[in-house]
Structure formats: C-alpha cells, structure tokens
C-alpha cells in the first residue's frame, strides 16, 4: 500500500487543482493521499468529489506556526489531519492566517516593485487565483517575468528568509495550534522537523512537551531530511511515543517532488486515524471522504 500524507493543490501553493491532484495521485499508483494545503481547507470538497473510487483521501491542512528559540522565533509547519473544519477556533485562525498571508505577500511585492523588480500585485493575485497568497506565487511571478528561471531559484535569492524583500507574518503559536487541532478532533504531525531550520527550536525537550500537549507525530521521511536526521527523529519519536510519517510534500510544478517519493506505513496511518474523532465532511448526497 502506497500512502503519501502531505500534498498541496491550487487551494494554496500547488499547481494542480484539487481534482488534478486526485488524478495525479491515482496515476502515481497511490492508495492513499492527503490534501494538506496551507492554512485552509478550501480544497477538501473538490478533492472529495473528484476522488477516484480506488483512492483513499485523508483531509488535512498545513498550519503555519512559530516557536521561540535561542536565536529568535522559528517558523514550524504543523500538519493537521481529520479535524472538524467548522470548529470555531479553526475557522477563526485560518481566516486570520489567510488575511496575514495576503498582507504579507503584498508587502513583499511592494518592496520588489519599489526596487524595480518587474512584477505586480495584480500578477501575483492572478497566479494565486483566490488561494491564500504565498511566496511560491510570488516566485512564479518572478519566473513568468523572466527574473529567475525557477521557483527554487527565486527562494534562493529574492524570496530568501534573510533577503532584502522578506516580510515576516504573525503565525500561530505551535503549542496553541497542536491543542487547537486536538480540540477539533484531529491529530497534529510536525512537518519536516529538521528540513528548514526547525532544529534550532525543536529540541528533544520541546518535542516531548508538545507530545504532552497532544502532538501525534513527526514527519520523518521527507525529501529535506538526510539519513542521520531521520535516525535522530525516529529515536526521539520512540522515546516520547510519537508516530513517524513519510510524505512527498508535493506541490506540482512548483517543486521538483514526486507523489509517493516518501511514504507512510499502513499501520501508522491506521493508528493516526484511531487518534482522531473520525470527522466526516458533508459534501452532498452520498458523498463523503473515504
């Protein structure tokens, strides 16, 4: 059984629509795929409706969070699975984060325009297509305008975290997000906990504390992790009783990642599901997530 628990659609910063993501997952031979767009659940309904009969869909989202570290606050992404999308705290926080992403994205674009970079706010909003604005949308605008060749190149220069155009955003406190997902009947798994600077904040003691507050797992098998990091994370997970998942973090053409590139064991998925309240998202007569 091939299980990929981290994939993005055009509901955030992927390039496949939710329906195209379902088709791509099926074509890649997946048995299970999770839709985990950034800070929203807008892709759930179209993905559910487009899901091939033989493909199981896990509904989720990737929450933008922050945590304190000796060098300052560190951005950490938290995957939430099978939570109630209508839970008041989820609705309020995702609405706030969408607004935060929009204001931050437009502020980055304004800095670039002021410096003579040939892109525009209208161009970025058109690329986002109503999805929460993210830096990959700006990266695609930079590619379309001939400023860089790839989105990855844009992140290495114009969109770098310490670059001249960077603008921070007010993300959710990590522990608060873990508890919020749990209160909504879901389970949280930290995404790529060693891939993007998170090691500065996600010490053993911090992870243990998060587990005490309801964290369910760590995304261990991820394209950003080398073998030593995977071994370290498996050891931490075993010591504090966390699940270990594997996922591609697929974004369509925005990143060179393949669906099913990293996978989760069937018994891990079964245990993850058992820790949730089994939320079913109503779509229409006879329709529900598998």
Give this prediction's pTM: 0.86
List, for residues 64-110, the tens digit of each pLDDT value: 999 988 878 899 999 999 999 999 999 999 899 888 989 999 999 99
Looking at the domain covering 98-156, what would its CATH class be?
mainly alpha
Indicate the range of 43-57, 166-180, 200-214, 269-283 predicted with least confidence. Answer: 269-283
The predicted pLDDT at position 87 comes to 95
The predicted pLDDT at position 290 comes to 40
Q: Taking residues 156-184, what's their average pLDDT?
A: 92
Question: CA 34, CA 54: separation in Å to the nearest integer?
Answer: 14
282: pLDDT strictly greater than 90: no
Domain-wise residue ranges, the chain:
98-156
């Amino acid at each position: 059984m091939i299980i990929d628990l981290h994939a993005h659609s055009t509901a955030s910063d992927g390039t496949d629509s939710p329906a195209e993501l379902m088709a791509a997952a099926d074509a890649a031979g997946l048995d299970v795929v999770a839709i985990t767009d950034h800070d929203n659940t807008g892709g759930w309904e179209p993905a559910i409706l487009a899901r091939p009969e033989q493909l199981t869909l896990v509904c989720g989202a990737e929450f933008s969070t922050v945590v304190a570290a000796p060098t300052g606050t560190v951005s950490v992404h938290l995957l939430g699975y099978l939570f109630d999308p209508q839970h008041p705290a989820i609705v309020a926080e995702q609405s706030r984060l969408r607004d935060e992403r929009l204001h931050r994205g437009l502020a980055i674009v304004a800095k670039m325009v002021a410096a003579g970079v040939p892109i525009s706010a209208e161009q970025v909003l058109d690329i986002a297509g109503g999805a929460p604005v993210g830096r990959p949308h700006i990266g695609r605008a930079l590619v379309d305008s001939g400023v860089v060749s790839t989105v990855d190149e844009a992140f290495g220069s114009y969109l770098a975290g310490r670059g001249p155009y960077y603008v921070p955003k007010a993300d959710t406190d990590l522990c608060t997000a873990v508890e919020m997902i749990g209160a909504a009947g879901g389970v949280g798994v930290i995404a790529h906990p060693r891939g993007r600077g998170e090691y500065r904040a996600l010490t053993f003691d911090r992870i243990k504390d998060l587990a005490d507050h309801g964290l369910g797992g760590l995304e261990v098998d991820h394209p950003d992790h080398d073998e030593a990091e995977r071994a370290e994370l498996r050891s931490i997970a075993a010591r504090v009783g966390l699940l270990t998942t594997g996922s591609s973090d697929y974004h369509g053409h925005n990143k060179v990642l393949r669906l099913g590139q990293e996978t989760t064991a069937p018994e891990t998925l079964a245990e993850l599901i058992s820790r949730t309240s089994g939320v079913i998202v109503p779509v229409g007569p006879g329709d529900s997530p598998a």
